[in-house]
Structures are given as C-alpha cells and as structure tokens.
Amino acid sequence: MTDRAFAPTLALHLGVIAVLAVLQFVLPDYHHGLLARIMVLAIFAMGYNLLFGYVGLLSLGHAMFFSAGLYGAGLPVFHLGWGVPAAFAAGIAAGGLLALLVGVLVLRTTGVAFMIVTMMFAQAFYLAILYFAPWTKGSEGFVLPQAARAIDIAGARWDLTSPSMRYWTALLLFSAVLALTLYVARSPYGRVLVAIRENEERTRMLGYDTFATKLLAVVLSGAICAASGAAYVLIFGYAGSTLASIQYSILPLLWVLLGGAATTLGPLLGTVFMYYVIDVASGYTTAWLLIVGIVLILLVLFFPRGVLGTIRERWVPWLP
Amino acid sequence: MAAVSPILVTKGLSRSFGGLKAVDDVDFEMAPGEIRALIGPNGAGKTTFVSLVCGRVEPTGGTIIFDGEDVTRLAAHQRVRRGIAYTFQITSVFGNLTAWDNVALAVQRHAGKGPRGARGLREGVQEALLRTGLAGRQGVLAANLAYGHQRLLEVAMGLALKPRLLILDEPTQGLSDGEIDGFVGLVRDIARDATVLLIEHNMDVVMRLADRITVLNAGRILAEGAPDAIRADAEVQQAYLGAPADG
Ligand SMILES: Nc1ncnc2c1ncn2[C@@H]1O[C@H](COP(=O)(O)OP(=O)(O)OP(=O)(O)O)[C@@H](O)[C@H]1O
Ligand SMILES: [Mg+2]
C-alpha cells in the first residue's frame, strides 16, 4: 500500500487470470466444472475478505448476503420470468440494501458481540427463507429452467447452461471483482480501512468518520457477496436454503483464513484449496471431515496468516 | 492579546470519573499563534483537559469554543476537520503500516482526488517526513521504528493534518537530548502557522518554547502567566516545580 511500483502487482494478477483462462482448455470435464464453481465462490470469499481482512470485522453472518443475492436474483427469474441481467442487478441490490440495514445496527457492536449479532441476523434470514417456503421452496429449493438462463445480446446467445460459457462467465465476474478489490486495497479508502483495523480511535483523531467508513465497507462487502450468490443461481441454476445456513457463513471465513486475510489473491487460493482437500479426502475415506480438520490445524500452526499472508511476511513484502 | 479574538475558549469545562473531578470548572483561553505550555504534576488532568478539547472525551459540564464556534457537541472527527489536531501521549501510531502510510493517512483527506491528489499526497507526506527528520525511514513499519522515531512520527502525523491548533501531549518523553533540540526547532517552525498547546514535563523545553504557561493542579488552573512569572510563583513551586523531577 505504500507508494510502490504497480508493475509486479499488475503482472501477477493478470498472470493468475491468464492461467485460469488457459486451464479452461486443459482441464478434464469434472475439474472444469468444479473450477467454475470455485471461481464464483471465490467472489464470495473476496467480499468477505474486504470486511474481515481489511477492516478486521469478523462476521459470522455473511451467508445472508450471499443468499440475498441468490434469492434476489433467483426468485424474479423463477416467479416473474425476469431476464438474466435484470435478475443479476436485483440480486446485488438486494444484498447491498440488506447490508446497509444490517450494518447500521451491527456496527454498534464490536468483537464477540459483532460475531453473535451478525450470526443472529443471518439465522433470522435463514428462517425467513424457510418461512416463505411457498415462494422459496424452502430446503428443497428450486431449479431455474434452462431456457431462462441465457442472455440474448444483439442476436447472439450467451447460454449459461453450456459448460464453457459458464466457465467464461465465472472467470469474467471473478476478474472484475478481483480488479475491484485490488483497486480498493491500493486506494486511499483501503488505507483508511486498514487503519481502522489497526487502531480505530487513532483513525478518528485523524479526522475520519469511522462509522461511515465501516458502513460503506459492510455495504461493499455485502454487495460483492450478493453478486456471488446471484451469479451462483444464474450460472448453476439452483437455489436452496442450505446455501443460507450457518455453514455458508463459516466457509468464507475458512477460505480467507487459509488463503491469507487482507491479501487480494488469498480468497481464491483458500477456496481452491478447501474444495480440493474436501474432494480428494472424500475420495479416500468417509471420515473426510476429519482430514479437513487436520489440514486446517496444520495450516493454522504453520501458516497462521494464511498461505499468502505468510509468503508476504517472509518473502514477498510487496504482495498486495 | 485582548485585541485579537481567541482561537480557543473553554468555559466551566469539567469532567469527572466517578467521584474524581479530573477537570474541574476550567476557564481557559488561547490567542492565535501562541505557544502555550500546559504543565502540572502527574494526574493533574492535563491529558483529560486536552482530550475534552479535541473530543476524545465527553465533558460532564461546560462549553468549548473553537474559532468562535461552539464545538462542545461535535464529534472528534468533525473537530479535526475544523483544525484541532491531537498527538497522543501514549504512542499510538499504526504499527503494521509503514511510516509513509501513517503520514499519508493524515494527508490524504485534504490532498484532493485524481492525479493531482496523488501528487499532492506524495508531496505532503514527503514534507512532513522531512520536517520531522524521518524521510530516510519512510518504508519502515512503524512498529519497527525506534521509540524516539515513533514519537516523531506522531508529531509528523499531527502536523501533516495542517491543523490550526496542534495539541502535543508530552512529545519529548523518551527522546534523547539531541532529538529534543531538533524537536524544539520543529515546534517553533510549526508555530509559524499554527497555535500550539504543549503538555510537557521537561521544564527546559517549556522555558525555551512557551509564550505563556498554564499550571494545572487537581483539575483546576493554579496559575497562568509568562514563563518568568510562573517560575517565580511560590505556589507553583510547591505544587509542581519543587516536587522531585518525574520526567
Ligand atoms: N478514563 C478514565 N477513567 C477513570 N479515571 C481517569 C480516566 N482518565 C483519567 N483518569 C483520572 O483522571 C486524573 C487525571 O488524569 P490525566 O491523565 O488527565 O492526568 P495528566 O495530568 O495527563 O497526568 P500525566 O502527567 O501522568 O500524564 C487521574 O487521576 C486519572 O487517574
Ligand atoms: Mg497525561
């Protein structure tokens, strides 16, 4: 974040995007589909990282923002026959608005109270999804019809049910959000976010309205997580209440912790890693949760700042 | 002094913690451009008094007028924006950020936007680092700076805010003699375009810098006047100067 050369940073990020683009042509079908899903969920992790990594606010309720996007985009398509672009925008708006309302209330608390209050809001949101089961289809969920998951642009058809278009769409959105988080992390606003994490009172005494700054961060974070949820339902065609459960509030925390909090590429790395550990472990044993747990413990012991956080600390200080 | 309107006025300013009156009915005035020293024994209420002025602590009574405006109800960040800056007694820099980023946080709010803002930011940070002699350490994490340099970084952040009133809370604590000489020059320099309120235990620094001195004891103003008069004051001698040196 110092006044440092941007070239290596830019090269690294473009390189990662290029590798993801090339993988699309070399990966076997199964991993191809998995990686598309991982990129969409990495957006969720990046949104979470903005608040947890940069501002230092540990939320246990981000499933509500993800699912606000999921249902905000999915329900209008399912019930009202909306097109993909309008539904995507509605999903993001739903998440941003929810984040604004929740943010105004939860930012009065800090630390453990913040964790508990965010978890309670997310739980209320989850129960609301079950309560409105006639529309949301509750835990069973709903599948979007194939015909609804395509965009017609100037005669051409962008079909989200084709594996390669799914992959490109996921990569496009992932890249956009990666660029956004890189921009925020390097901007003066990002510097204030980190300052709040380090010492909120000092930041206030430099003339910053820290409440307003944090509220904006909650809204940004919520909107990005909602974009992930909206992309998920539109690309993969399914929404169900499991995706709003507590598990989906804890997952982004784990992804970010693994990859490295307050690093731009950590969320991707953590998401990829967790997915493949689970995938490999469940191929060998039914006790795969145990293996996941052991891997997590090992990582926290040897990479307490996550993979990229440790690399930055020890070897590559310019890593954003 | 009576001709110019004061930059800072407090009327009946009070703050109690439980039963303890840390600041007790203080009427205080500063003229623009002066260097005022605020002295007094440990626990006299100096930090509490300036914390009331800058908004870190809420008063239990009284009013604070800054540049003719009643700021008693304003939030701390709003007072900073009006030109009141406070440097912390307990070093309070951002340890995980570089010296450059620490100062940038103070500069960027008024540096503007776009490319011109980016240049203004670089120049502003550079200037503050040069004035405090930290230019060679801009890339060092604040936590890794020597203690004296952390104190100077506090001051650099304070002056980078371009305040109209700069409050320095024991800035020389822990500095070496050489660093203190540099610091005295720096404060004179700052005082050319700001009013300075200096809390200081080092009487040598006080005598070299202050235009006037206010002595606080047990939350009340015990004496106020020119440095020589204060030095001669018997009551002050007893309450403070005569006490064993403590800083
Ligand atoms: N937040 C607080 N809660 C309770 N008591 C406090 C608080 N802050 C200060 N005090 C008390 O108020 C009195 C004045 O403290 P203050 O820090 O203002 O003194 P000071 O003149 O700055 O002293 P020093 O020279 O040691 O810095 C002390 O008795 C202190 O213990
Ligand atoms: Mg004090």
Locate the chain B residue with the closest alpha carbon to A2. Answer: B101
CB B12 within 8 A of CB B27: yes
What is the pLDDT at residue B158? 95
Nearest CB partner across the interface for A204, out of B77, B93, B96: B77
Contact A320, A46 (CB under 8 A): no
**pLDDT the model gives residue A194:** 96
pLDDT tens track for A100-139: 999 999 999 998 999 999 999 999 999 999 999 999 999 9
Distances (CA, A) of B131 to A162, B190, B194: 62, 9, 15
* pLDDT band of B239, cuts 50, 70, 90: low
* HEC sequence for B125-183: HHHHHHHCCCHHHCCCEHHHCCHHHHHHHHHHHHHHCCCCEEEEECCCCCCCHHHHHHH
Q: Please report, for chain B, the start and end positions of each structural domain, with discontinuous segments joined by +.
A: 33-58+69-239
Phi, psi of B145 (to 5 degrees): -75, 150
- The Cα–Cα gap between B50 and B36 comes to 12
Contact of A2 with chain B, judged by CB distance below 8 Å, is answered with: yes
pLDDT of residue B184: 93
- Which chain residues have CB less than 5 Å from ligand 2, an ion? B 47, 89
Q: Identify the residue whose tokens are 């307990």.
A: B90
Candidate of B13, B16, B17 to mutate for ligand 1, largest count of ligand atoms within 8 Å of Cβ:
B17
3-state class (DSSP) for residue B194:
coil
Selected residue of B108, B129, B159 to mutate for chain A interface (largest A Cβ count, 10 A) = B108
Q: According to the model, what pLDDT value does residue B111 have?
A: 82
CB spacing of A206 vs B105 below 8 angstroms: yes
Domains of chain A, each with CATH number or no CATH:
3-314 (1.10.3470)
For residue A46, pLDDT beyond 80: yes
Q: Given pLDDT bands bounded at 50, 70 and 90, which one contains residue B247?
A: very low
Contact at CB, B100 and A198, closer than 8 angstroms: no
Gap between the Cα atoms of B192 and A32, Å rounded: 67
Segments of chain A assigned E as strands: 142-143, 150-153, 156-159, 238-239
Classify burial at B34, counting beta carbons within 10 Å of its beta carbon; exposed 0-12, middle 13-18, buried 19 or more. Answer: middle
Q: Closest ligand 1 atom, CA of B219?
A: 14
Residue A206: the pLDDT is 97
- Exposed, middle or buried: residue B244 (CB in 10 Å: 0-12, 13-18, 19+)? exposed
The pLDDT assigned to A137 comes to 95
User: What element of type H or E holds B51?
Assistant: helix B46-54
Which chain A residues touch B121 with a CB distance below 8 Å? Answer: 188
Query: Smallest Cβ distance to A205: which of B80, B125, B138?
Result: B80
Are B97 and A195 within 8 A, CB to CB? yes
Q: What is the pLDDT of residue B173?
A: 86
CA distance B132 to B183: 8
Residue B80 to residue A207, Cβ atoms within 8 A: yes
Mean pLDDT score of chain B:
91
Where do we find the tokens 């997590």?
Answer: A296
Query: In which region does residue B55 sit, left (phi positive, over 0), alpha (psi from -120 to 50) or beta (all else)?
Result: left
Residues of chain A positioned with their CB less than 8 A from the CB of B138: 2
User: Is the minimum CB–CB distance between A209 and chain B shorter than 8 Å?
Assistant: yes
Tokens of B184: 């005295």
Give residue-wise pLDDT tens across range B21-75.
999 999 999 999 999 999 999 999 999 999 999 999 999 999 999 999 999 999 9
Res. A204: pLDDT tops 90: yes
- List alpha helices for A27-150, DSSP H: 29-49, 63-80, 84-106, 111-131, 133-136
B129, pLDDT greater than 50? yes
Predicted model pTM: 0.91
Instruction: Note the pLDDT of residue B245.
Output: 44
| Residue numbers in A near B104 (CB within 8 A) | 3, 188, 191
Cα-based angle B25, B29, B33 (whole degrees, multiple of 5):
150
* Contact at CB, B80 and A191, closer than 8 angstroms: no
Report the C-alpha gap between A70 and A226 in whole angstroms. Answer: 7
Q: How far apart are alpha carbons B129 and B126 in whole angstroms?
A: 5
Q: Is the pLDDT of residue A1 over 80?
A: no
Residue A224: C-alpha distances to residues A23, A132, B60 (Å) = 25, 25, 44
Ligand 1 surroundings by CB, under 6 angstroms: B 17, 20, 22, 40, 42-48, 89
Mean pLDDT score, A45-74 = 97
Mean pLDDT of chain A: 92
Question: Which of the ligands is closest to the CA of residue B40?
Answer: 1
Query: What local confidence, expressed as pLDDT, does residue A223 receive?
Result: 98
Distances (CA, A) of A285 to A66, A260, A271, A277, A281: 30, 28, 21, 12, 6
For residue A243, count other CB atoms closer than 10 A to its CB: 20
pLDDT tens per residue, range B165-198: 999 999 998 888 888 998 999 999 999 999 999 9
pLDDT at B1: 47
CATH architecture of residue range(s) B33-58+69-239? 3-Layer(aba) Sandwich (3.40)
Minimum CA–CA partner of A208 in chain B:
B77
Given pLDDT bands bounded at 50, 70 and 90, which one contains residue B2?
low
pLDDT of residue B243: 52
pLDDT in tens, B131-157: 999 999 999 999 999 998 999 999 999
Q: Does residue A35 register a pLDDT over 70?
A: yes
Q: Is the pLDDT of residue A179 over 80?
A: yes
CA quadruple A213, A55, A269, A229: dihedral, nearest 10 = -50
Identity of the amino acid at A201: E
A53-64: average pLDDT: 96
Mean pLDDT across the stretch B224-244? 75
- Which residues 173-202 in chain A show a CB within 8 A of chain B? 188, 191-192, 194-195, 198-199, 201-202
DSSP for B105-132 reads HHHGGGS-SHHHHHHHHHHHHHHHHHHT
- pLDDT of B228 over the 70 cut: yes
Residue B110 CB neighbours (<10 A): 15
Q: Tokens at residue A25, please?
A: 């042509």
CA pair distance A281, A45, nearest whole angstrom: 22
